[in-house]
């Protein structure tokens, strides 16, 4: 059990025990899109705007089975993702997926109240399938299904149910929002990390001699004071300069260029 998975599990369970459906506080923390933008004040003027419900709805659940299913998903899929992404990346995935569920609810089921960690957990599920697509998941502990096919089935069921209107008590479009935003977040994150790694590699492999012309680099290297150098370094410099004269600048590796740059004070 990783730290943030444990904290999210405990928080969700405590909130479920303290805040029961039908109570005033539960209603105030439930995501209801018209209330977020204040449209319900047309009919109930004293009702406040409730923008905080974009976040708080993720910790409410409609019943014990709703809570259990979501926490099972978080428990089984979350730790491995947190270990891979780190705390910041994992929390980013979890809460952005939850906000994606809220956004899809605004777009496709504006008049329906929404509760539950399902969108956030669906983001975790799609993340697991993206990184370990062939991992076997045992449905009900018996039926083995690869993670990629499980994620595909989850998307298809949510899309069909949302469009057809079946199982009206379930926020299928919120599920889709969690899946879409979770996948998008991880794609962008991996692309950025890939760019950072490439930039870091370019810095490691960069040599001052790459910035100017070969002639400028050769002239700078020729000015190295060989007499003041240790014999081993002097021999290395002389050998490399002779190779440049025989075979050209491209005959040197990045490490050899960097060595000559250091010796020349570059």
Q: How many CA atoms lie within 13 A of 68 on its CB side?
A: 3
**pTM of the predicted model, to two decimals?**
0.71
Q: Which of 61, 66, 172, 175 is catalytic?
A: 175
59 and 159 co-located in one domain: yes
188 and 213 co-located in one domain: no
* 3-state secondary structure (DSSP) of residue 73: helix
pLDDT, residue 46, reads: 56
pLDDT, residue 235, reads: 85
Q: How far is CA 105 from the centre of its chain?
A: 22
124 and 221 co-located in one domain: no
- Higher-confidence residue of 115 and 159: namely 115
Percent of the chain with pLDDT over 90: 38
Tell me which of 158, 186, 202 is where a domain ends.
202
- Higher-confidence residue of 263 and 214: namely 263
Domains in the chain, number: 2
257 and 129 co-located in one domain: no
Mean pLDDT (the chain, rounded): 83
Is residue 175 part of the annotated active site? The answer reads yes
- Find the DSSP H helices in 147-224: 147-164, 172-204, 214-222
Say how far apart CA 29 and CA 115 lie, in whole Å. Answer: 9
pLDDT, residue 100, reads: 95
User: pLDDT (tens digit, 9 = 90+) per residue, 50-95?
Assistant: 889 999 999 999 889 889 989 988 998 999 999 999 999 999 999 9
187 and 226 co-located in one domain: no
166 and 250 co-located in one domain: no
Domain that holds residue 251: 208-263
Tell me which of 152, 184, 202 is where a domain ends.
202
Task: Please report, for the domain that includes residue 11, its CATH number.
Answer: 1.20.1540.10
189 and 213 co-located in one domain: no
121 and 190 co-located in one domain: yes
Say how far apart CA 19 and CA 28 lie, in whole Å. Answer: 11
Tell me which of 155, 173, 202 is where a domain ends.
202
29 and 157 co-located in one domain: yes
User: pLDDT (tens digit, 9 = 90+) per residue, 134-184?
Assistant: 888 887 777 888 888 888 887 777 666 656 554 555 577 888 899 999 999
Is residue 206 part of the annotated active site? The answer reads no
Q: Which of 109, 118, 161, 264 is catalytic?
A: 118
pLDDT, residue 71, reads: 93
The answer on pLDDT for 129 being more than 80 is yes
| Residues 240/209, Cβ–Cβ less than 8 Å | no
| Residues 138/129, Cβ–Cβ less than 8 Å | no
- Higher-confidence residue of 265 and 26: namely 26
The answer on pLDDT for 49 being more than 90 is no
Give the number of other Cβ atoms within 10 Å of residue 123's Cβ: 34
72 and 183 co-located in one domain: yes
């Amino acid at each position: 059990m990783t730290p943030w998975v444990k904290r999210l599990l405990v928080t969700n369970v405590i909130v479920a025990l303290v805040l029961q459906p039908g109570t005033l506080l539960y209603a105030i923390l439930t995501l209801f899109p018209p209330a977020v933008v204040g449209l319900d004040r047309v009919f109930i003027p004293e009702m406040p705007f409730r923008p905080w419900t974009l976040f708080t709805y993720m910790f409410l659940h409609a019943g014990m089975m709703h809570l259990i299913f979501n926490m099972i998903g978080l428990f089984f899929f979350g730790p491995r993702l947190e270990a891979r992404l780190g705390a910041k990346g994992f929390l980013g995935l979890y809460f952005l997926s939850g906000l994606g569920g809220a956004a899809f609810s605004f777009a496709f089921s504006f008049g329906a109240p929404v509760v539950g960690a399902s969108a956030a957990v669906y983001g975790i599920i799609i993340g697991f399938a993206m990184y370990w697509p062939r991992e076997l998941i045992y449905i009900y502990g018996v039926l083995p299904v690869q993670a990629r096919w499980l994620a595909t089935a989850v998307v298809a069921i949510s899309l069909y149910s949302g469009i057809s209107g079946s199982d009206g008590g379930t926020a299928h479009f919120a599920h889709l929002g969690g899946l879409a935003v979770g996948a998008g977040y991880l794609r962008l994150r991996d692309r950025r990390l890939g760019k950072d790694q490439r930039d870091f590699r370019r810095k490691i492999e960069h040599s001052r001699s790459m910035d100017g012309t070969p002639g400028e680099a050769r002239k700078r290297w020729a000015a190295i004071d060989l007499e003041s150098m240790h014999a081993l370094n002097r021999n290395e410099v002389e050998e490399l300069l002779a190779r440049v004269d025989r075979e050209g600048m491209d005959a040197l590796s990045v490490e050899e260029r960097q060595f000559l740059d250091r010796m020349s004070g570059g």
